[in-house]
Amino acid sequence: MNKMTEGHTVKRFDDEMVFLHRLVLEIGSLAQNQLKRAVQTLNDKDPSAARDVISRDQELNDLDVQADEEFINLIVKRQPMAKDLREIITISKAVSDLERVGDEARKIAQLTIHIYDTDSSPPNKQVLRDINTMAAFVGDMLKSSLIAFDELDAPKALDVIRLDSELEEEYKSALRRLTTFVMEDSRAIGHMVDVVLGLRALERIGGHAKNIAGYVIFLITGSDVRHESVECIEKQII
Amino acid sequence: MQPNTQTVSSVTPLMVCTDIEPIAAHDNRKTVGEISVDNPRMSCRNVNVFYGEKQAINRVNLDIGRHEVIAMIGPSGCGKSTFLRCLNRMNDTIDSCRVTGEILLDNQNIYDKTLDVVPLRAQVGMVFQKPNPFPKSIYENVAYGPRIHGLSSSKSDLDIIVESSLHRAGLWNEVKDRLDQPGTGLSGGQQQRLCIARTIAVSPEVILMDEPCSALDPIATAKIEELIDELREEYTIAIVTHSMQQAARISQRTAYFHLGDLIEVGETNQIFTNPQHKLTEDYITGRFG
């Protein structure tokens, strides 16, 4: 329980808010795990494990539906206001983003199946190196955004938003490198589209982490910073 | 204009707050938010209200804009009803009550010694928590005010006022065939709309409402809320309510009172999504009160 969720006259309301808060962390943990496992299947060249990752996405979908039911019940019962209302909105949006992180992780797992479960020869390691680099980067972003949510840490959330610009640069560099690979060896083009889609999925995961960080700042300050510059957000949280 | 420090005294004590802290305990509180509006209908400055030695309202400053609904919220005993009753000098009827400060209605100090409270209470009408129709016919309930204020010169004039007031109160279609029947025979929601018709029959500028829906069922409440929204086009409305959802639905500005202080005032959307004062936050999220 944190200062956002505690202290209602109706103690049951506290319990319900704490439950939702923990549900976000549970869904976040599962989404992080899905990303990690999906990338691991690629490194292990293991289509069978990739299929496990894909089937496990259903757990995230179920939790997403459960969370929606919990929001609706809580809104009906408690008609939350002010920071409670902001927390409900934050949780609702964060859960949607985390569910989509799961969808993106599934795309990485599908990449493993496309590459290693076909007759065509897999791409060389250099082509896949950027997947690992970007996966580690967005994994950290996702972790930080969830810590910022759990600890109501606006500066940490701002760090995640700052990292998104770096991620965009990283993504563009990776695309440039892939273009170079294709120009050097046009036979590699078969898997390049899959790899580009994999990179795109990771870039989107970074975007979802940034979204969650933005919701955290909204939760803490009441300001919607989704379309604000980093400089503007800095002023909001000082 | 100098602040008026007239002592209000009268006959029967109607209400005495006993759980109000003395001024010394919280005299440094400053209202958060913008108390002023452009071209206000009513303007209150440094308003203090005392019941005997007890201070119920502490230096409240607040403007009430034209054609706005302003909601006053706060825990029981916070002074919101007391403040509302200052706006048409209803507190004059409380023996031990003393009001200081300045309350202007269209730049006229309503506590001016020369001011007659009878026309004031027509200009600033009031609707109470419990519907209180006169023990008279529906027609007479509405016609009574215009008649004693001399607003009609003939029976046909009065008929027009009664019909238009009942129309504006959303009651005409329900009572047009039984205007001679007692007002007390209507349902609770209809009685409250009859009281609103009675209030608007004397062409007020401001309507004060003290928890007007607290005795009504949800459908009757919805009708009154719809009516309040329509009345805003012609009148200024100040409403005291314990329902945060009601305040959020019907008002444009909200004022939060706590232990006699006006803690925060602001746009209703801002107050209910991102209040700036911790006391406001704690109250509207159900953390105390």
For residue B267, pLDDT beyond 80: yes
Is there a domain that residue B154 lies in? yes
In a domain, B103, yes or no: yes
Q: What is the mean pLDDT of chain B?
A: 89
What CATH number did the domain enclosing B194 receive?
3.40.50.300
Query: Min CA distance, B245 vs chain A (Å)?
Result: 8
Q: What is the DSSP string of chain A?
A: --TTT---SSHHHHHHHHHHHHHHHHHHHHHHHHHHHHHHHHHHT-HHHHHHHHHHHHHHHHHHHHHHHHHHHHHHHH---HHHHHHHHHHHHHHHHHHHHHHHHHHHHHHHHHHHSSSSPPPPHHHHHHHHHHHHHHHHHHHHHHHHHHHT-HHHHHHHHHHHHHHHHHHHHHHHHHHHHHHH-GGGHHHHHHHHHHHHHHHHHHHHHHHHHHHHHHHHH----TTS-HHHHHHHH-
Q: Does A79 touch chain B (CB under 8 A)?
A: yes
Range of the domain at B216: 23-284
Based on the number of CB atoms within 10 Å of its own CB, is B198 exposed (0-12), middle (13-18) or buried (19 or more)? Answer: buried
Of A8, A78, A222, the CB nearest to B273: A222
Query: Which pLDDT tens digit goes with each residue over A122-173?
Result: 777 778 899 999 999 999 999 999 999 999 999 999 999 999 999 999 999 9
Q: Name the CATH architecture for the domain at A11-237.
A: Up-down Bundle (1.20)
Domain count of chain B? Answer: 1
Residue B1 located in a structural domain: no
Token digits of residue B215: 């005795």
B5 within some domain: no
Interface test with B, best of A4, A83, A86 (most B CBs within 10 A): A83
Q: Is residue B136 part of a domain?
A: yes
CB contact under 8 A, A82 and B244: no
How is residue B130 written in tokens?
A: 């419990």
DSSP string spanning B80-122? HHHHHHHTTTGGGGSTTEEEEEEEEETTEETT-TT--HHHHHH
Average pLDDT, stretch A218-232? Answer: 92
B11, pLDDT greater than 80: no
Gap between the Cα atoms of B101 and B119, Å rounded:
21
CB B207 within 8 Å of CB B123? no
User: What pLDDT was estimated at residue A1?
Assistant: 56
d(CA A221, CA A237): 7
Indicate the pTM of the whole model: 0.82
pLDDT band at B115 (very low <50, low <70, confident <90, very high): very high
Burial (0-12, 13-18, 19+ Cβ within 10 Å), A227 = exposed
